[in-house]
A = this chain, B = another copy of it.
């Protein structure tokens, strides 16, 4: 997009119908705020999903799992991955299976606890992930980069506040 793709349906940059357009005048501010945030996230997320699929034949969860691993050269336990990615253990097994089959990650047995293994990126996995991550970051920049400095800061601060509010609400999932 920003780097090359012309918008197919340029249209007006305002008033595109979306989830928020269902909000009624009498709806409370929190609801409108949520619909607006959801719309933004969905726009960006579906763009990223689509790009990952068409340009790298991968998916967001697979990308996320590899992203988690990149920072921890020694690898992570599946239960750790499960916590970070906020999905259940079985799902981590499935995604890991796929990535392992393609030689992007490997399971490494550890002596200290014979039940668990460490998952880590292979050399090939690192190489490929770095390329994907660079593209990914460009896509994100293309979508967020137009924000004013003030909005960017405000957004970051407010979302930080929100994350703290929303997290403790969550029940454990594993």
Kindly state whether residue A155 has any CB partner on chain B within 8 Å: yes
B163 contacts A43, C-beta separation under 8 Å: yes
A14 touches B164 (CB 8 A): yes
Which listed residue (B22, B86, B145, B160) contacts A68, Cβ 8 A?
B22
A95 within 8 A of partner (CB): no
> Which residue of the partner chain, among B39, B86, B161, B170, contacts A147 with CB atoms under 8 Å?
B161
By size class, the interface of chain A is 35 or more
Flag if A1 contacts B169 (CB, 8 Å): yes
In the complex, the answer to whether A154 meets B152 with C-beta atoms within 8 Å is no
- Looking at chain A's contact residues, the main secondary structure is helix
Interchain CB contact (< 8 A) of A159 among B1, B155, B160: B155
User: Does B68 contact A137, Cβ atoms closer than 8 Å?
Assistant: no
**Quick one: which of B8, B37, B71 contacts A41, CB cutoff 8 A?**
B37
Please encode chain A, from 49 to 69, with 1 for each CB lying within 8 Å of some chain B CB and 0 for all others.
Answer: 000000000000000100110
> Within the assembled complex, what's the spacing in Å between the Cα atoms of A29 and B145?
10
Question: Of residues 13 to 47 in A, which have CB atoms within 8 Å of B's CB atoms?
Answer: 13-14, 16-22, 24, 27-34, 36-47
19 A-B pairs whose Cβ atoms sit less than 8 Å apart in the complex: A2-B169, A9-B171, A9-B172, A13-B168, A22-B67, A22-B70, A22-B84, A30-B145, A31-B140, A36-B156, A36-B159, A37-B37, A37-B41, A43-B163, A43-B167, A44-B166, A143-B166, A147-B161, A151-B157
